[in-house]
Every structure is written in structure tokens, then in C-alpha cells.
Chain A
Amino acid sequence: MIVNRKPLTLAERLYLPAIVGGFRVTIRHALRSLFGGKTVTMEYPEQKWAVPPDYRGAPYLVKDQDGHTKCVSCQLCEFVCPPKAIKIIPPGPAGELADRPNAEKMPHEFEINFLRCIYCGLCQEVCPEEAIFLLKDYSLTGLSREEMVYGKEKLLALGGVHGGIQKWKHKLEEAKEQENFPVKV
């Protein structure tokens, strides 16, 4: 279907009313900041914008309340990531043990390429361990491409602590209490 453009009116063709309208906004803001003390600009980067609580910033890895890595290297985020920004190297059979009790697996390396990341939040949504969250960082800079690929330690340091149900710990405690149940062999 072709939608024909509405013909411009005389005022629109003159452009002057639009220019005047634009100036009115500029002058209003200029006067307000001069005499009203109300500034609309911000001295970035010294001043930073306060982001709303549901803001989707950069995804970082988090630790649980005991300081253990929550990520178990299930690679679902790697799978779901639309721009393929996430790369995980699983521990393999000889890899280091996880730093949390009862869950044997932890990523050997976890990389997010922030040149690729589109801040979509699918990694956070898909994570079965609540180990990756889109936090508030929106301004990531670096001097090289390599610098923009964040490794596991950096992501964990930036992510901080995010408590939770600690299901692996819970399983372990439940197993330890198993002796209490009367039906046994």
C-alpha cells in the first residue's frame, strides 16, 4: 500500500514557525538555567546518571553470600546469547574443583566480549543458578579490543554478591540429615 505524503501547508513550507518554536525551547531552558538555577545538562563523566532500578546494564557474574562462585558452567547463556558474546571453557575432567560445596563444576574460564554484548538480558533470564545479572554499568571503555573481553575474575569482581537459595548447599545439608528418617535399610 502506498501512503501519499500529506502536502505541506504554507506555514510548514516557510519553516519559520518551526525555527521559532525551536528557539523558544532553547531560550526557555537558557533562562531557567541562568535565573532559575535548574540545569538540564550533566557534567559527565564527573556526574553520572542515576539509572532506574530495572535498568539493564552490563552482565556480570555474582557470588553467593558465602563468597562462592555461583556459576556452574552449564553454558546455557553461551547457547542463548544472540550476538555470541559469551565464551565459556568448562573445567574438563581434570579441572579445578568448584569453590562451593557439593556442586562439582565451575567454569575454567568465562569471557564476555563487551564489544559484542547487546545488553539483552537473555543470559540472566536463562541462568538456572542465578549466577549472572545485568547490573547498572552502562559505560564500558577500553583501549583495545582485548581489554573489552572481560574474564571470569574481572566479571566476578564487578558482579559482587547476590544471595540466594544456595540449592547445592541445601542438598548437602538435606543429605547429611538423611539419617533422621525412620525408613531405612
Chain B
Amino acid sequence: MSNTATTETKPAAPAIEKIKVKVDGRELEVPKLMPDWQGKLVPTTMIQACELAKTDVPHYCYHPKLPVAGNCRMCLVEFGTPALGPDRKPVINPDGTPKIAKSPRPAIACATPISPGMEIYTQTPGVKQMREGVLEFLLINHPLDCPICDQAGECKLQEYSVDYGQSASRFVEPKVHKPKAVDLGPRIVLDDERCILCTRCIRFTKDIAGDDALGIVNRGSYNTLTAYPGKVFDNNYTLNTVDICPVGALTSKDFRFQMRVWFLKETKSICTSCATGCNIIVGSREEKVYRYTPRENDAVNACWMCDHGRLNYKWIGRADRLAEVRRQTSEGRSEKTTWTVALNEIAEKLKKAPHGSVAIVASARQTNEEFWLLKKLADKFGALTDSIGYFGEGDKLLLNVDRTPNRTGARLIGICQANVGIKMMVIADSIKVGKVKTLIVFGEDVTKSSLDAELLGKLDTLIVSDILPNETTKRAHYLLPGCAHVEKRGTFTNIKGRVQKFMKAVEAPGDARPEWEFLHDLVYNVTGQDGFLTIEGLFNEMAKDVPAFNGLTWAGLGDTGVTVPT
């Protein structure tokens, strides 16, 4: 992996010299060096200085996390530097200010480093005219098929056309036509006519994903983006090219023609497909999740996420989602019941349970708050607790071998050991010898582990909370329907100890409730402990109680989380 994107920015870096520049007449101090796409300190560029000055410089090919190409020419600005006299000393105006020699030629802001005393002009008539010129050139051969283009609504070409476009085209020649609906790989469709040849996708695949699969063939206006002959564009990061494509040239087969983006509600969330915990935005409409897109967090995932995690959302809307609270009657019949009845009955049974007769199997896909509440229950009954690990092949960029989002949280709170699942055999043995009579299972099909159906049959009480039906939920005495992470709020602790929160995007189906809500009720019923009716309060209580989380607050996590020592 070529990037420092997933590493922490070092706090103890030496102080960087600041230099004074002027952006549109406003003076500001900017660091002389700033991180480039690899995080390496290099001389600050004009576009970075303009960003610090909160001045927007339109651009297509520039991306802060990619090497600079400088080919779109949209970010052209005018600039001047302090004039030097024949003695190599700055010439001073009568009013004492240094005389500025305006450069006769413009410069691309994305690639030109700043120098002390430089003045950058982004709003002059000349700059406006250059932007209009470049935009017109980009539009003449663009098919303007926005009505059928998935990018419409989040397209930079549309946005800048509003700012710098003409109301009507003066182009009367036939447009250049190129291949349409090109099948680049299993997840990507390319429309070459829409491509503005910014080469962001080429640079991403080559320099970030390390799979040199894309390139441009032909000359001049006939430039065509394509995969190398015989090469399929198929790595675990292909869908990022869809995000960074400023136009609708690269589109996702998964999201193709699914929904117009302006209908999508955007919710800040965390990917749950591995322990990296990539920050994402959930796009949903009318309680249906349509897509995940990465959200920038330089401490975790920069601007990227893997295709594996991105496409792992379809189970959320499955028709067989558990949506009813169910209990088993004394005749062994399963019947629908209410939360109040179920929770009261469970509390009564738990209160009567002898010390050491309860075991808890939690899922490493649960939140820190839920683990903490389960831990409270476990402490009350001296219960055995553990979780189940899921591991797969990792890669060098983002995908972790640990395929659960919160094993670190489970370990820090004390639900499982560093060696996850090590106590599962102990729990199995305890059930076998009749010591454990009550088993609480959250989000796991334990029949696939050491607790088979026969063992489960030995239990007096099996309390199961899950999202989708499985062999364990079938055998539950009490079945409590839970929520997917997009249906509730909470925090995960990623493999590096970053505590990150996620928000609710859609409503849970039927009677399903967030686990922390009913766990809180249960803890209150069993132990009488209260005082955390909101997720904010619950998190803050937990942070006080769990040593690893001491000092954290829900508000203090911000959008990108806080790293705790693991």
C-alpha cells in the first residue's frame, strides 16, 4: 500500500514555516509545506492555499488524494509575485507595499507551488473567461444525456456549467462519437462519450489500487478511455473510480439506473464488512438503502472503500428480516408477543437464575454500547461471555482479515478475549454438564459453532436477538428482532482502536428495535441501573466506566472518531 492515508497524522511533526500569500486580495498565512496525495510534505500548491482561504477553485482532474496531472485546465488562475529590482531586492510601492509583478501567463492552481508574497487572483474577468473557455471545450463533445446519466445531480460538469456555462451552445458541428456502455469489468460500465479525459480513474487504479488496468488510446479529441486489451478491470477497489469520476463516464453496475441521486438521503455511517471501519455515507430513500459511498477520513480510509464492503448492503432490505417479538409457549409453540411481555418475562427468569448459570454469546458486529450493556448483565450473573470471529483474506489497502467491525470493542469492554471464540468450548461444556441453563445469543447462529442444536435443546431458556432467521433463531424461547447498523445509532471500535459513531438512515422493519434500547430496558429490569435513555448518555456512561474509553464523549467523537489505545 502506497499511502499513509490509513495511518494517523503524526502529532509531533516539526513546526512548518508559514508564508504569507494573498488570495483575491485577502492576506493569509499558509504552511510552506503541505501533505501531497501520499501524505508527504511538499511545497504548498495554489489550490491548497485557495482552499485554506476558503476560495473555491473549480477543477476536474485534481484530487487531493491522487497524483497531480494538470490536464483539465479548469483550475487556471492568474497570479503575481513581488517584483525584484535590478539589485534583486523587492520593489516597494510609494505606499510601502511591495510591488507585485503580475504574471503574463496564467498557471494551473493544482500544480503551481506558492512563494512568499505571491498574490493569487481567482475572480478576475480573465480567469472567468478561461474557465468559460475550458468548460465550453469540455461540453462540445459531451453527449448531454443527463436524463439517462446516473451521475446527474452529483456531476461536476453540471455544477460548473451552472457557474461558467453558456445558456446555448454555439457548436454546430457533429459531435465526436465514442463507444457507449462499455463493459469494463464485473462492476463498472463505461460511457466513453461522457468521459472528459481527466485521468483520475487511471491514476487511482495505478497508484492507489496498484492495478494498472486503465489507459487512454487514440489521439486528440478521439482520446478514449479503455482497459488494456485483454485485461478486465476487476480489483477490489474499482467502484472508487465511479466516485472520483467527475462526470458519468464510469458508472456502477450495482447502482445503474436504480435511483436518481437527488432523492437519496445521505447518512454518515461506518462500513461493517471488516475491522477497518471505513467511513461511509449511506444513500437511502423511503426506508430503502440504495448505496454506500466512502466518506473522507484520513485516519482510516482517506477517500476510498473496497468493493466488498460497498456492495454488502442488500441483506438489510431482505423480505425475511425478523420483525416480530416471539416467545415459545409452555407447549413449545412459537407465538407473537410484545416487547413489554417478553422483556418482563426474561427479566423474571434471569433474576431467578443462579450465579454462573448464564452464558452470553455476543456478535462482533454489535456496537460498543450494546457490549457494555451485555457486560452489565454478565457481571450480574457471573456469566461466561464470548463472541465468534470471522476471518478472510485481507489486502494491503483497506480490507482487513478480520471481517467483523467491532471485535476490538468487544475485547476492550471484556466480552471476548484477544483470541476470539476461545471460551465457546467452555460454554458448550458448561451446557453439556447442565451448569449453564440460560443462553443469551446476539446476532450469531451458534449452531454453526460448537453449540449445536442438540446442546441448545438442553437449555432452560434460550434468548436470541437477531436480524435474519437462522437455526438458532428457530430454537429461541424468546426471539428479539434487532436492527441493522443503518437502522440505529452507536459506535464501533476498529482494528486500530478508532472509536467511530454511525447514524440512523432507515427505519427498522416491524417491531424490530435497536438492541441497545431493549438491552437497556432489560438491564434496568434486572439490575435496577438506569440513567442512559439516549445513545449519547449511554455512550458517555460507558466511556466513564470502560477504562479504554475514559475521557471520550459522544459529541467529542465528531464525524471521524477518536483513536484509543488498544
Is the CB–CB distance between A75 and B258 below 8 Å?
Answer: no
Do residues B147 and A72 form an inter-chain contact, with CB atoms below 8 A?
A: yes
Q: Which of B148, B174, B177, B218 is A104 in contact with, Cβ under 8 Å?
A: B148
Residue B143 at the chain A interface, CB threshold 8 Å: yes
Say which residue of B147, B177, B253, B256 sits within 8 Å of A74 (CB atoms): B147
Task: Please state if B222 and A128 are interface contacts (CB–CB under 8 Å).
Answer: no
Once the chains bind, are B219 and A185 in contact (CB under 8 Å)?
A: yes
Q: Is the CB of B174 within 8 A of A90?
A: no
Decide yes or no whether B152 CB sits under 8 A from chain A: yes
B218-A90 in contact (CB<8A): no
Binding-face segment, B5-13, B259-267, B477-485: B259-267
- Candidates A92, A105, A174, A185; contact of B148 at CB < 8 Å: A105
In the bound complex, what is the Cα–Cα distance between A129 and B147 (angstroms)? 8
Q: Is B234 an interface residue (CB 8 A)?
A: no
Whether B143 lies near A128 (C-beta < 8 A) is: no
Taken together as a complex, chains A and B put the C-alpha atoms of A76 and B149 apart, in Å, by: 12
Assembled-state Cα–Cα distance A128/B158 (Å): 15
User: Which of B146, B177, B253, B257 sits near A95, CB closer than 8 Å?
Assistant: B257
Contacts of B260 in A (CB 8 A): 74-75, 79, 90
Q: Judging by beta carbons under 8 Å apart, are A103 and B148 in contact?
A: yes
In this assembly, does B232 line the interface, its C-beta being within 8 Å of a C-beta of chain A?
no
Say whether B258 contacts A178, CB under 8 Å. no
Question: Nearest residue in A to B262 (C-beta to C-beta)?
Answer: A79
Q: How far is the CA of A73 from the CA of B147 in the complex (A)?
A: 8
Contact mask B246-258 → A, CB, 8 Å, 1/0?
A: 0000000111111
Looking at the assembled complex, report how far the CB atom of B488 sits from the nearest CB atom of chain A, in whole angstroms: 28
Interface residues as binary, A135-176 with B (CB distance below 8 Å gives 1, 0 otherwise) = 000000000000000000000000000000000000100110
Q: Shortest Cβ distance from A134 into chain B, in angstroms?
A: 20
A interface residues, tally (CB under 8 Å):
27
B258, A177: Cβ atoms closer than 8 Å: no
B interface residues, how many (CB within 8 angstroms): 26
A181 on interface, CB distance cutoff 8 Å: yes
Bound CA span A177–B174, Å = 9
Known: A74-B148, A129-B147. A93 touches B176 (CB 8 A): no
Are A175 and B177 interface neighbours, CB within 8 A? yes
Chain B positions within 8 Å of A171 at CB level? 143, 145, 175, 177
Output the nearest chain A residue to B148 by Cβ-Cβ distance.
A105
Please provide the chain B residues from 141 to 164 with a CB less than 8 Å away from any CB of chain A in the complex: 143, 145-148, 152
- CB contacts (< 8 Å) of B218 on chain A: these are 185
B216 within 8 A of A: no
Chain B binding site: helix, strand, loop or mixed by DSSP?
loop
Q: Which of A72, A74, A104 contacts B181 (CB 8 A)?
A: A104
A92 touches B257 (CB 8 A): yes
In the complex the two chains form, is B258's CB within 8 Å of A90's CB? yes
CA distance A90 to B219 in the complex (A): 37
Q: Which of A24-59 contact B (CB under 8 A)?
A: none
- B176 A178 Cβ-Cβ under 8 A: yes
A93 close to B148 (CB less than 8 A) = no
Nearest Cβ distance between residue A130 and chain B, in whole angstroms? 11
B434 smallest CB distance to A (angstroms):
53
User: Contact at B257–A73, with CB atoms within 8 Å?
Assistant: yes
Tell me the complex Cα distance, A10–B119, Å.
82
Contact, CB under 8 Å: B174 / A128: no
A79-B262, A178-B177 in contact; A128/B257 too (CB < 8 A)? no
Decide if B174 touches A174 in the complex (CB within 8 Å).
Answer: yes
CA distance A78 to B257 in the complex (A): 15
Interface string of A94-119 (1 = CB under 8 A from B): 01000000111100000000000000
Given contacts A72-B147, A79-B263, A177-B174, contact A93 B254 (CB under 8 A): yes
Among B148, B218, B220, B263: residue with most chain A CB under 10 A: B148
Q: Give the docked Cα–Cα distance between A140 and B386 (Å).
A: 64
- The answer for the CA separation of A72 and B176 in the assembled complex, in Å, is 23
CA distance A91 to B147 in the complex (A): 14
- Inter-chain contacts of B175 with A (CB < 8 A): 171, 174
Q: Please give the distance in Å from B399's CB to the nearest CB on chain A.
A: 24
Complex alpha-carbon distance, A153 and B449, angstroms: 52
In the bound complex, how far is the Cα of B177 from the Cα of A184, in angstroms?
A: 12
Known A72-B147, A74-B147, A128-B146; contact A93-B256, beta-carbon cutoff 8 A:
yes
Question: In the complex the two chains form, is B257's CB within 8 Å of A90's CB?
Answer: yes
Q: Are A91 and B257 in contact (CB under 8 A)?
A: yes
**Nearest-neighbor residue (CB-CB) of A174 within chain B:** B174
In the docked arrangement, what's the CA distance between A73 and B258, Å?
Answer: 10
Set of chain B residues within 8 Å of A78, measured between Cβ atoms: 263
**A178 adjacent to B174 (CB under 8 Å):** yes
Q: Report Cα–Cα, A174/B176, bound state, in Å.
A: 9
For A90, what are the chain B residues with a Cβ–Cβ distance below 8 Å? 257-260
CA distance A104 to B260 in the complex (A): 15
Indicate whether A75 sits within 8 Å of B263 (C-beta atoms), given known contacts A92-B256, A104-B181, A185-B219. Answer: yes
Q: Measured between alpha carbons, how far is A185 from B217 in the docked complex, in Å?
A: 10
Q: How far is the CA of A74 from the CA of B262 in the complex (A)?
A: 11
> What is the 8 Å Cβ interface bit string for chain B, positions 328-342, against chain A (1 contact, 0 not)?
000000000000000
For residues 267 through 302 of chain B, which have their beta carbon under 8 Å from a beta carbon of chain A? none
Could you tell me if B145 and A103 are in contact, using CB atoms closer than 8 angstroms? yes
Q: How far is the CB of B195 from chain A (nearest CB, A)?
A: 15
A101 to chain B, nearest CB (A): 12
* A residues 72-88 touching B (CB-CB < 8 Å): 72-76, 78-79
Picked from A128, A175, A184, A185, the residue with its CB within 8 Å of the CB of B147 is A128
Contact status B174-A74, CB under 8 Å:
no
Closest CB in chain B relative to A24 CB, distance in Å:
57
Q: Least Cβ distance of A117 to chain B in Å? A: 20
The complex places the Cα of A104 from the Cα of B183 at a distance, in Å, of 14
- A103: nearest chain-B partner, CB-CB: B148
User: Using Cβ atoms and an 8 Å threshold, which residues of chain B touch A91?
Assistant: 257
The docked-state distance in angstroms from the alpha carbon of A6 to that of B27 is 67
B255 contacts which chain A residues (CB < 8 A)? 93
Residue of A nearest to B223 (CB): A185
Establish whether residues B257 and A185, one from each chain, have CB atoms under 8 Å apart when the complex forms. no
Q: CB within 8 Å of A: which of B199-254?
A: 218-220, 222, 253-254
Other A-B contacts than A104-B148, A185-B219, 5 sampled, CB-CB below 8 A, are: A72-B148, A79-B262, A171-B177, A178-B176, A184-B222
9 A-B pairs with CB atoms under 8 Å apart are A74-B152, A74-B260, A79-B260, A91-B257, A93-B256, A175-B177, A177-B174, A178-B176, A185-B218
Which A residues lie at the B interface, using CB under 8 A?
72-76, 78-79, 90-93, 95, 102-105, 128-129, 171, 174-175, 177-178, 181, 183-185
Top 6 nearest A-B pairs (CB, nearest first) are: A175-B177, A74-B147, A93-B256, A105-B148, A75-B260, A72-B147
